[in-house]
Amino acid sequence: MAIEHAAVQVVRKPWGIGDLHPWSSIDVAGDPVGELWFQRTHKHAAIPALLLKLLFTSEPLSIQVHPDDEFARSIGLPNGKTEAWYILAAAPGARVALGLKRRLTPQALRAAIRDGSIADLTQWRPVAKGDIIFVPAGTIHAIGAGIVLAEIQQRSDTTFRLFDYGRQRELHEKSAVAVSDAGPVQPETGPRRITTARTALITSQHFVIELIDLPANSNWALNADRETWILAIEGRARIGSTNMSVGDAVFIEGDRSGIEVGADGMRGLMAYPGPDPVVALLQGAGELTKYAGMSAGDAPKSSETVEVQA
């Protein structure tokens, strides 16, 4: 049984940024921060199946691919890395790449990595705030500059890079060729309404991602039998005794809790293992909350911060 205000792990990246507001009040001294990873707070807690992150880009990430479960296990890793991105903010012209413009043989893919022409073969698309993008393991992909996004992924840090814009980081030609589905991607299925407050954005074997839009001063019951992550993206709420405002995340597993929504409502992402949406997970309690007067000062940011260089 657990309800935790997630700790934040800072990951520095060459493509990161220097000012994380309004998503985090962490002071970014030094190298740019590319990612904030939300972590369980108890040191001896079981390792969750999912990883929730925020990504901040001032330059494009590498063109990359991740292994599926089968390949990951063949090299001694516990699982692969299917991921999804929810766009929180996007500068004009911001874009992401998903799949290739045309199908390549493994030999042609290897040659395109070696001569860098893979950069001209990826299929870019514009993105805007509120977009959701599903990236199954094996999909060649990249994230462009000027984006803040929330990433939900299988818990893995295995990335095979195909191209890195001249940065001096390692490429992983052999593994990338072995795991890539080197062609155009299939069209995605659209979001599906679960209730007036809940929309399933992604329904997949590995995780479900819901957009939750909880009205001002409403009360809810959260019945989390399985691992569940909630990220606040607008407004405020209190989950159990944890106050949440923009950029805060809560982990809950094998536990029940009330949610009291603040005076401006709360919009957030809720993610849990798939394959199907769990209707009983979040239910309206039908009462106005006593918590309507919550102010910014009532919602402290996560207390624990650690640093990682990547």
Ligand X SMILES: O=P(O)(O)OC[C@H]1O[C@](O)(CO)[C@@H](O)[C@@H]1O
Instruction: Give the bridge partners for 272, in sequence order.
Output: 208
Query: What mask of x and - would describe binding to ligand X in positions 113 to 132, judged by CB under 6 A?
Result: --------------------
Per rule CB under 6 A, is residue 143 in the interface with ligand X? Answer: yes
Q: Are strands 228-239 and 255-272 parallel, antiparallel or unpaired?
A: antiparallel
Query: What mask of x and - would describe binding to ligand X in positions 200 to 229, judged by CB under 6 A?
Result: ------------------------------
Per rule CB under 6 A, is residue 96 in the interface with ligand X? Answer: no
- If binding means CB under 6 A, how many residues of this protein chain bind ligand X? 10
Q: Are strands 282-288 and 218-224 parallel, antiparallel or unpaired?
A: antiparallel
The gap from C-alpha 56 to its chain's centroid, in whole angstroms, comes to 11
Active site residue 238: no
Q: Which two structure tokens, joined as six digits, stand for 291?
A: 């918590």
Identity of the residue, 151 or 248, whose beta carbon is nearer to ligand X in the bound complex: 151
Q: Which of 103, 110, 161, 169 does the annotation list as catalytic?
A: 161
Q: Are strands 63-65 and 122-126 parallel, antiparallel or unpaired?
A: unpaired
Candidate segments 153-161, 190-198, 249-257, 258-266, binder of ligand X by CB under 6 A: 153-161
Per rule CB under 6 A, is residue 151 in the interface with ligand X? Answer: yes
Cβ at position 223, least distance to ligand X in Å: 30
Cβ at position 193, least distance to ligand X in Å: 28
Give the sign of the dihedral formed by CA 159, CA 163, CA 167, CA 169: positive
Per rule CB under 6 A, is residue 159 in the interface with ligand X? Answer: yes
Residue listed under structure tokens 């919009």 = 267
Query: What mask of x and - would describe binding to ligand X in positions 41 to 70, judged by CB under 6 A?
Result: --------------------xx-x------
Residues in contact with ligand X by the rule CB under 6 A: 13, 35, 61-62, 64, 143, 151, 153, 159, 161
Catalytic residues: 161
